[in-house]
Amino acid sequence: MRTAEIKRRFLAHFAANGHTVVPSAALPAIDDPNLLFINAGMVQFVPYFLGQRTPPYPRAVSVQKCIRTPDIDEVGKTSRHGTFFQMNGNFSFGDYFKEGAIPLAWELSTKPVSGGGFGLDGDRIWATVYLDDDEAIEIWHKTVGLPMERIVRRGKRDNYWSMGIPGPAGPCSELYYDRGPDYGPGGGPDVDEDRFLEFWNLVFMQYEIADVKSKEDFRVVRELPKKNIDTGMGLERIASILQGVDNLYEIDEVRPILALAAELTGREYGARSGHVAGESHPDDVRLRVIADHVRTALVLIGDGVTPSNEGRGYVLRRIMRRAVRSIRLLGWQEPALPLLLPVARDCMSPSYPELATDFDRISQYAYAEEDAFLSTLRAGTTILDTAISTARQQGSPTLSGDQAFALHDTYGFPIDLTLEIAAEQGLTVDSEGFRALMADQRARAKADARARKTGHADLSAYRVIVDRHGPTRWLAYDTLTTDSAVLALQDAAGVSVSVAEAGDIVTVFLDSTPFYAESGGQHADAGTLSGDSVEAEVLDVQRPVKGLVAHQVRIVAGALVISDRVRAGVDPQWRLGARQAHTGTHLVHAALRQVLGPTALQSGSFNRPGYLRLDFAWPTSLSATLRGDIEQITNSKIRDDLPVTAAYMPLAAARERGALALFGETYDEVVRVVQIDGPWSRELCGGTHVEHTAQVGPLAVTAQASVGAGVRRIEAVTGLEAFTYLARERDLVTQLAEQLRAPREELPGRVEALIGRAKSAERRAERLQRQLLHVQARQAAAGAVTVGPYAYASASAGPEVNPRQLAEFIRDALPFQPGIAAVAARTTRATQLVVAANPAAVAEGADAARLVNDVLGSHEGGNPALAQGGRPGAEPGNLLAALGVLLARTC
């Protein structure tokens, strides 16, 4: 049974039993500040379980895409670890409880395939329950008919669920399937969990806990007034059982990727020779990493994540680089993703058709990231080769942990490649030092994450306001002013207060508001709150929870008290500028797609009055011609004075009409579609817009740049800001034309000619400078003195001279006998000392680095042939004299 069919049957079973089918949330956990990615099937329902939101349905079913990365380094080492997985789940919000969840799970598991079930043999299913959960045992035994000898009691570590924080918790019951004696000894899950494979976990959320110290150390406060059900069946886990394969890497959605990687590299998956007993063969580990990470990258990019150096983008980048690195270690040196990613698409698109329809965009990001990483590997290899050469010259058999960490952290060069290449050159790597530096970095990252972390409890105060007063009456589309009542106040720490006085910055909650809260890339409105006894400036507007608008304000005069009536007023010029910029963003996006093609999709945007920026998928810089075309099309649409319309419709209907959604955003079932010129621009959007495109005013593209592999950013200004920008450009051109005494149309040629003459002058100056240096070098070499076995020559130089170049010239002008040259030059920051030794002097035992360090009394680096360092305030002559004395003493 294919994985897509398992998913379909799971959803159909619970839909037939009164559950609302809820689509998978996007992988980026946008609504949960604790998570980068959705990591469990119940995450999108957490607000319902915590009582922060009222569930719109009593029972639900979903197949949720999930990512777990804490054990990413373990992927491939066992057959169980994977970064991407899918969690089948059914949920009850105070509706049915154990008496409903257990029979529903048993029915689907054992119902014949012909009847829509999974057809598992009921005689091979075991259940575990919490120690004292006699209620669950009775249901399993008396209602379902499971023999008592196949019901196992377990403790808190295995069969008690919580979020690890104070809140809802409860016992759970897990279902195990006996895969037979080929997988291990009999006796049930307590004996062997390879043979007895867990495939479903039923969580009975019935208690509130507090004083949580660990998974097993907490205090049960009370029973929940509404008991909930949260279940999770790993889709990959049940697929491996139903498809009769050993593990998740051999199911239909993964094995073809692994098989192609094995074919490309000439490796045989499942080889067992030459490895430690009980451990996977290194080839198997790498093939599993490739298969898992390529699939994970596909779905992450499909859900709007793009490679970057922080947050979710960094996780994606790391996953992709591990895949590329693994296939290179297996011997494949060419780009691999153009071959592997289409296979992953074909495996996953039966479950997620959007991965096929959106593949052009996905592949652009993926292939660009691989190309960039291959360049990183080439650059890192060059740097590593230099480090190895230096270590050999210094007689060291080891590369330092600092060097390995710098390669990894600064250049993205993988440590295992550093170890491999160093070993080939007969060197070791200070792995202990590297691991210590990595541990320090992780500790700093975790400390920073904890410092920025906010929990679900932080939202409880907002939920209280919504429950007490109802949602904010939001009128931003309808008016710029409202007569509003103050419902609640919070100080900067989020503590409720009853009054705010002049100078205070507080958060204000109103019963109605005209202010646009920041969302969808649009900056929040600015404006004022005014009343009989208060004047306040609105600084920011946010939506901390669904239905509630929070206004951060500064009290300018008077005092604001709960229950006051105030006039909430949006700055009309601010709103006009914001509307111009947001509509301009849609126009630029549509123009981009017209010029570059449908794959140039927006991946992020920001707009505020008069300014917009838009990130989009594109692998190369835009030429001046392309930028001009985009700007011209946009302004043509503005000149045509097209109507800008907004309509509400079901999400499915919007998608059918071709409305574009912003990647990474979460949408309700009913969405707002903003349209300009029919299908030319049709997007899901909750922002404020002008009524006709001519109201945008002129639009000028001001900049474009790269913001990541395969991602470009275009910036533009609109309305009065665009006019001001173009006026400045006009004034600049006029000034240049006057200074060069040339017509405007001749300016490019005139400037190009000036640049050419300037470069020619620079080259002539450089030649003269080199000639002068050669003359000075020959003069210094002619005055060389004999010190021991060396011919020693020195010179002082001014700040306009390159001391290193002069020292090399002097060294080369010395006779062929062992020779040492030294130059001291005063610069703005310090006096530089450079020592250069020719090969004969190095062979004689001269060490330029040691000489510089001894004269300056510090460690400056360098090598035996050439070294330099500096000392602030030193006299050049004194440094040269000290060097001569030192050289004579060492000889």
Q: Which two tokens stand for residue 264?
A: 């490309």
Handedness of CA 359, 360, 362, 368 (dihedral sign): positive
What's the rounded mean pLDDT across residues 426-432? 84
Overall average pLDDT of the 166-173 stretch = 89
pLDDT of residue 302 exceeding 80, the answer is: yes
Mapped onto helix, strand or coil, the DSSP state of residue 102 is helix
Q: Is 252 exposed, middle or buried (0-12, 13-18, 19+ CB in 10 A)?
A: middle
Question: Strand 125-130 vs strand 151-154: parallel, antiparallel, or unpaired?
Answer: parallel
- Contact partners, residue 591, CB within 8 Å, separation at least 6: 629, 630, 631, 633, 634, 637
What band does 451 get if pLDDT is binned at 50, 70 and 90? very low
pLDDT, residue 160, reads 93
Give the pLDDT score at 424: 64
What was the pLDDT predicted at 398? 85
Per residue in 670-706, is it b (16+ CB within 10 Å) or e — as a string?
ebbbbbbeeebbbbbbbbbbbeebebbbbbbbeebee
Of 241, 237, 239, 366, nearest in space to 296 by CA: 366
- What are the DSSP calls for 579-610, one per residue? HHHHHHHHHHHHHHHHHH-TT--EEEEEEETT
pLDDT over 90, % of the chain? 51
- Quote the pLDDT of residue 891: 67
SS3 264: helix
Q: How far apart are the C-alpha atoms of 26 and 28, rounded to whole Å? A: 6
Structural domains of the chain in order of their starting residue, each with its CATH number: 3-246 (3.30.930.10), 255-373 (no CATH), 457-570 (2.40.30.130), 576-731 (3.30.980.10), 766-890 (3.10.310.40)
pLDDT at 115: 92
φ and ψ of 604, to 5 deg: 170, 155
Q: What is the mean pLDDT of residues 812-830?
A: 86
User: What does the pLDDT look like over 633-649, one tens digit per residue?
Assistant: 999 999 999 999 999 99
- Do residues 693 and 676 lie in contact, with contact meaning Cβ atoms separated by under 8 Å? yes
| Interatomic CA distance for residues 110 and 177, integer angstroms | 11
DSSP 299-337: HHHHTT----SSHHHHHHHHHHHHHHHHHHHTT--S--H
Residue 301: pLDDT above 70?
A: yes
Q: Who's near 526: CB < 8 A, 6+ residues apart?
A: 538, 539, 570, 571, 574
Q: Is residue 550 a contact partner of residue 591, using CB atoms and an 8 Å limit?
A: no
Q: In what order do the strands lie in the sheet with 670-676?
A: 644-650, 670-676, 681-684
- The full DSSP string for 372-391 is HHHHHHHHHHHHHHHHHHHH
pLDDT of 277 over the 80 cut:
no
Tokens 């509307």 found at = 579
The pLDDT mean for the chain works out to 88
The DSSP 8-state label assigned to residue 643 in this structure reads B
3-state secondary structure of 246: coil
Greatest mean pLDDT range, 213-227, 303-317, 468-482, 642-656: 468-482
Residues 6 or more apart whose CB falls under 8 angstroms from that of 699 comprise 584, 587, 588, 631, 634, 635, 638, 716, 717, 718, 722
CA distance linking residue 329 with residue 337, whole number of Å: 15
User: Stretch 450-469: mean pLDDT, rounded?
Assistant: 63
Q: Which of 112-126, 478-492, 869-883 has the lowest mean pLDDT?
A: 869-883
Of 481, 442, 645, the closest CA to residue 565 belongs to 481
Tokens found for residue 565 = 């009536």
256 Cβ contact list (under 8 Å, min separation 6): 343, 346, 347
Interval 245-261: pLDDT, tens: 988 999 999 999 999 99
Cβ burial of 189 (10 Å; 0-12, 13-18, 19+) is buried
Please give the pLDDT value at position 273: 46
Q: Residue 113 is encoded by which pair of tokens?
A: 């395939």
Report the pLDDT value the prediction gives residue 826, as an integer from 0 to 100. 86
Give the pLDDT confidence of 177-236 residue by residue, as tens digits: 999 998 889 999 999 888 999 999 999 999 988 888 888 889 998 888 889 999 999 999
Task: Kindly report, residue by residue over 141-154, the tens digit of the pLDDT.
Answer: 999 999 999 999 99
Say which residues have a Cβ less than 8 Å from residue 660's Cβ, sequence separation at least 6: 589, 601, 602, 682, 683, 684
Q: What are the structure tokens assigned to 404, written together?
A: 């390995």
Tell me what the mean pLDDT of segment 464-486 comes to. Answer: 93
DSSP state at residue 28: B
CA atoms within 13 A on the CB side of 399: 29
Does the global pTM surpass 0.75?
A: no
pLDDT at 453: 36
Q: Which are the contacts of 45, defined by CB distance < 8 A and separation ≥ 6?
A: 55, 60, 91, 93, 230
Choose among 705, 657, 702, 715: nearest CA to 682: 657
8 Å CB contact between 145 and 192: no
Cα separation, 492 vs 504, in Å, equals 9
- Where is 824: in which H helix or E strand? strand 819-826
Tens of pLDDT, residue by residue over 668-719, are: 778 999 999 999 999 999 999 999 999 999 999 999 988 776 788 999 999 9
Q: Which residue carries 């970064």 as its tokens? A: 83
Strand pairing category for 534-542 and 611-617:
unpaired
What pLDDT is stored for residue 609 in this prediction? 95
8 A C-beta contact, residue 698 and residue 719: yes
Least confident piece of the model among 410-414, 523-527, 813-817: 410-414
Q: What pLDDT, on a 0 to 100 scale, did the predictor assign at position 859?
A: 65
Would you call 797 helix, strand, or coil by DSSP? strand
Residue 719 vs residues 127, 577, 617, 633: alpha-carbon distances, Å: 67, 7, 27, 16
The mean per-residue pLDDT over the stretch 301-320 comes to 84
Q: From CA 783, how far away is CA 531, in angstroms rounded?
A: 89
Q: For residue 321, what pLDDT is reported? A: 86
pLDDT tens per residue, range 852-875? 888 887 766 678 899 988 888 888
Helix (H, G, I), strand (E, B) or coil at 618: coil
SS3 sequence of 267-296: CCCCCCCCCCCCCCCHHHHHHHHHHHHHHH
* 281 is known to lie in a ligand binding site: no
- Residue 831 pairs in a beta bridge with 826, 871
Q: What is the largest CA-CA distance in the chain?
A: 107
The C-alpha atoms of residue 467 and residue 545 are separated, in whole angstroms, by 12
Residue 411 token pair = 């250049």
pLDDT at residue 271 above 60?
A: yes
Q: Which of 18-32, 164-178, 720-734 has the lowest mean pLDDT?
A: 18-32
pLDDT of residue 278: 54
User: Which phi-psi region, left, alpha or beta, contains residue 125 (left: φ > 0; alpha: ψ -120 to 50)?
Assistant: beta
685 is in an annotated binding site: yes
Predicted confidence band of residue 18 (pLDDT cuts 50, 70, 90): very high
> Quick one: which of 551, 544, 564, 548 has its CA closest to 525?
551
For residue 169, give the 3-state DSSP assignment.
strand
Q: Of 344 and 279, which is predicted with more confidence?
A: 344
